[in-house]
Amino acid sequence: MKFDVTDPRADALSTSDPRLGVLIRRIGALNIRVEDDPFVSLVRSIISQQISVKAAATIRGRVLELTGEFTPEAIQQQDDQALRAAGLSASKVIYLRDLCSRVLSGELDFALFPSMTNEEIMNALTAVKGIGKWTAEMFLIFAMGRYDVVSGGDAGLQRAAKWLYGLEERKDKKYLEQVSHQWAPYGAIAGLYLWEAINCGAVDSASTLEEWIQTAEQSRLE
């Protein structure tokens, strides 16, 4: 997925939500990698659960070396001991086996996903052991390229929304719910820019959007 300030979708977001528009123009172009194999996307997600990015990359490499490829057949051919030796926890071995068995039996048919609604895909995925709502939402965005997804369970997005809009502290941390109505039908694009605001240090380096822009301008002129 590629977006810049001239993209009609980014322009629509800027029109409906001028404050988000300021962030979009400030950050500029985004080039987001979309996984073209849905099964591989889910395998990567399961392996990455609750561990660091570095550890996940190491374990993915070991599992791939063991299996030769990320396919249901290749993973199911390995015994539990070999998968555990590659770095997978006992629970993740169970999750991967459940995913593989559902794909091999046809219960989970990725060929049908393009014609399914977001809710239908979410229901199909969360039936798999180890796949929760957040993982399913990430799949919709980064494997299906669905633009109309806002992950309310993502703590980073909630934090970035609070920062961008200067929202008051809430015990329930539900900040997205106050502003995301402005983003339809491009909630996922808005989320990508909020994530980038965290990645580039804006959210943690300045108390407001205006302060971040001012600091950046001063640094540019020095």
Active site residues: 154
Cβ proximity of 88 and 99 under 8 Å: no
Residue at token pair 């969360």: 126
Q: How far apart are CA 183 and CA 185, in angstroms?
A: 6
Q: How far apart are CA 68 and CA 145, in angstroms?
A: 27
Q: Give the residue among 172, 154, 175, 155 at the shortest CA–CA distance from 164.
A: 175
Tokens of 110: 């990725």
Residue 209: CA atoms inside 13 Å, Cβ hemisphere, count?
21
